[in-house]
Amino acid sequence: MRACCRPVRRRGLALGFQAFYIAMSVGVGVGAAMGALVGNALGAGHRPRARRLAAQGISFGLIAALLLAMAGLWYGPAVLKLVSEPGAYRDAGIRYYLLLSLALPGFLLAFTCNGILQAHGGRQIIPARPDGRIFCQYRVEPAVHLWGAGRRSGDGI
C-alpha cells in the first residue's frame, strides 16, 4: 500500500461515516422511545403490556432498519455528493458508506433492544462498551484500507 493513498482513504472513511450516522440517529431515537414506553408500562405494573410493547418495538426496529438500509443505498451517496467535491476521497467515502450500510440493520436492532434492556434495569448499555469500537478502529479499519474501499475504481469494493 502506497503511503500517498492513506490520507485519501482516511478522508473517505470520515466522509462515509457522516451519512452512516444520519441513519444511526434513527436507532438512537427508537432505543430511547423503547426505554420510555417499556419503562412506563413496567413502572405501572403492566407486564403483559410491556411485553407487547417490546415485541412491537422490535418489529418496528426491524422494519425501520430494512427500510433505512434500502433507502440508504440512494440517500447515502446523494448526501456524500452534496457535501464533498468530486475526487478520489469522495469515491472512497461512497464505497465506505456502502460497506458500512451492510451493518446498519444490526446496529438499529441492537439500539432497539438496548432501550428495552435499559427499561428492565440493565446496566451494560451499548455506549458503555467501547471494546467493539476499539476492535473496529484497530483491526477492521486497516483491513479495509488494505483490501478495498480506498482503491481506484475496478480494484476495490
Q: Supply the mean pLDDT for the chain.
A: 76
Q: How confident is the model at residue 14 (pLDDT cuts 50, 70, 90)?
A: confident
Q: How confident is the model at residue 53 (pLDDT cuts 50, 70, 90)?
A: very high
- The DSSP line for 3-46 is GGGHHHHHHHHHHHHHHHHHHHHHHHHHHHHHHHHHHHHHHTT-
Total domains in the fold of the chain: 1
- For 1, 28, 81, 136, 148, the CA distances from 6, given in Å and listed in that order, are 8, 31, 21, 17, 12
Q: Output the pLDDT for position 105.
A: 86
Q: Is the pLDDT of residue 156 over 50?
A: no
Residue 155 lies in a domain: no
For residue range 66-86, what is the model confidence (pLDDT) as tens digits?
Answer: 888 888 888 888 888 888 888
Residue 113 lies in a domain: yes
Residue 119 lies in a domain: yes
Q: Which domain holds residue 11?
A: 3-147
Residue 40 cell numbers, joined: 412506563
For residue range 94-143, what is the model confidence (pLDDT) as tens digits?
Answer: 888 888 888 888 888 888 888 888 887 765 555 545 555 555 555 555 55
Q: Output the pLDDT for position 94.
A: 85
Which pTM was predicted? 0.66
Q: Is the pLDDT of residue 58 over 80?
A: yes
Residue 157 lies in a domain: no
Q: How confident is the model at residue 154 (pLDDT cuts 50, 70, 90)?
A: very low
Q: Is the pLDDT of residue 5 over 60?
A: no
Residue 89 lies in a domain: yes
Residue 152 lies in a domain: no
Residue 44 lies in a domain: yes
How many other β-carbons are positioned within 10 Å of the β-carbon of residue 122?
13
Residue 56 lies in a domain: yes
How wide is the angle at C-alpha 156 spanned by C-alphas 65 and 21, nearest 5°?
30
